[in-house]
């Protein structure tokens, strides 16, 4: 059995060499540890190994984990990365630091309205559907700029960049092709948005291609925590 600490060393060195290969500084690639379905003990082990940023996909599970670590680990940063139902925005607004998966105005508006006044603005990314018909989640490329303008008008959200989840694909060249349109859009928008600093792309199976394509944040679950077991989820 590999420990989380050993897995993390492996992932960190993979990020380093992927960055080196394309002439990037590895400090420009943040590692978000995706802890969905994993128990508190696994997160505690990851914290012990030095991780501070965690990604969760399910509202209730994420909120429980945040509550668990609130007193003992106040420096953790929690990212909501799953699909958002508009009737579930309140606990997200009240507990998370970041949201990667905003894809429509209704959700953005509710998150801003429900963000408690004593918390920092929610840091958000627009999720873009880069796989066309094969995926339901994410805004269409043609809708991104209008949605960004709508988010700009919301007082309790700060738009930091873009995110995508391409179809799983083993071939490195095809992975690069899947990331290219989002990288191009990110660079274009960043030119007029100084607060844009986050391009959330890359998971365990495609992080090298994501880094080569300019990702600034890879979301890594399996390569850190091992395979997930969904059998306990209803």
DSSP for 201-231, written as a single string: ---TTTHHHHHHTT-SEEEESHHHH-S---T
> Any contact of residue 114 with ligand PLP (CB under 6 A)?
no
Residue 6 contacts by C-beta under 8 Å, 6 or more apart in sequence? Answer: none
> Any contact of residue 222 with ligand PLP (CB under 6 A)?
yes
Cα(8)–Cα(51) distance, rounded to whole angstroms? 9
Which tokens is 104 given? 């429509």
Q: CB 117 → ligand PLP: shortest distance, Å?
A: 29
> Any contact of residue 219 with ligand PLP (CB under 6 A)?
yes
For residues 116 and 221, which CB has a smaller minimum distance to ligand PLP in the complex? Answer: 221
For residues 149 and 167, which CB has a smaller minimum distance to ligand PLP in the complex? Answer: 167
Q: CB 214 → ligand PLP: shortest distance, Å?
A: 17
Binds ligand PLP by CB under 6 A, chosen from 11, 144, 203, 212 = 203
29 neighbors 20 (Cβ within 8 angstroms): no
Cα(131)–Cα(206) distance, rounded to whole angstroms? 15
Stretch that binds ligand PLP, among 58-66, 109-117, 180-188, 200-208 (CB under 6 A): 200-208
For residues 31 and 185, which CB has a smaller minimum distance to ligand PLP in the complex? Answer: 31
> Any contact of residue 204 with ligand PLP (CB under 6 A)?
yes
Applying CB under 6 A, the site for ligand PLP has a residue count of 13
> Any contact of residue 14 with ligand PLP (CB under 6 A)?
no
* Per-residue contact flags (x/-) with ligand PLP for residues 59 to 98, judged by CB under 6 A: ----------------------x-----------------
Cα(92)–Cα(140) distance, rounded to whole angstroms? 23
Binds ligand PLP by CB under 6 A, chosen from 14, 30, 57, 131 = 57
* Interface with ligand PLP in residues 163-192 (CB under 6 A): 165
69 neighbors 43 (Cβ within 8 angstroms): yes
> Any contact of residue 102 with ligand PLP (CB under 6 A)?
no
Q: CB 67 → ligand PLP: shortest distance, Å?
A: 21
Cα(99)–Cα(219) distance, rounded to whole angstroms? 13
Q: Strands (DSSP E) along the chain, which ranges?
A: 30-34, 53-56, 77-80, 98-102, 122-127, 157-163, 198-200, 217-220
* Interface with ligand PLP in residues 128-167 (CB under 6 A): 165
Nearest alpha carbon to residue 224 among 65, 48, 6: 6
| DSSP tag of 79 | E
Residues of the shown chain interacting with ligand PLP in the complex, contacts defined by CB under 6 A: 34, 36, 57, 81, 165, 203-205, 219-223
């Amino acid at each position: 059995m590999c420990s989380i600490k050993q897995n993390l060393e492996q992932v960190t060195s993979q990020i380093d060499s992927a960055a080196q290969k394309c002439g990037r500084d590895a400090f420009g690639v943040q590692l978000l540890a995706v802890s969905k379905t994993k128990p508190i003990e696994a997160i505690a082990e990851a914290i012990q190994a030095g991780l501070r940023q965690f990604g969760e996909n399910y509202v209730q599970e994420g909120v429980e984990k945040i509550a668990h670590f609130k007193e003992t680990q106040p420096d953790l940063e929690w990212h909501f990365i799953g699909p958002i139902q508009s009737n579930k925005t309140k606990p997200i607004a009240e507990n998370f630091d970041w949201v990667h998966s905003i894809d429509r105005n209704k959700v953005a508006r509710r998150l801003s309205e429900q963000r408690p006044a004593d918390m920092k603005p929610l840091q958000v990314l627009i999720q873009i559907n880069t796989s066309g018909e094969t995926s339901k989640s994410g805004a269409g490329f043609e809708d991104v700029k209008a949605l960004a303008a709508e988010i700009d008008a919301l007082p309790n959200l700060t738009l930091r960049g873009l995110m995508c989840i391409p179809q799983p694909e083993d071939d490195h060249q095809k992975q690069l092709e899947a990331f290219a349109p989002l990288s191009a859009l990110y660079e274009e928008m960043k030119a007029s948005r100084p607060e844009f600093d986050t391009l959330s792309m890359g998971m365990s199976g495609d992080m090298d291609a994501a880094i080569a394509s300019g990702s600034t944040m890879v979301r890594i679950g399996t390569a850190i925590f091992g395979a997930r077991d969904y059998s306990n989820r209803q």
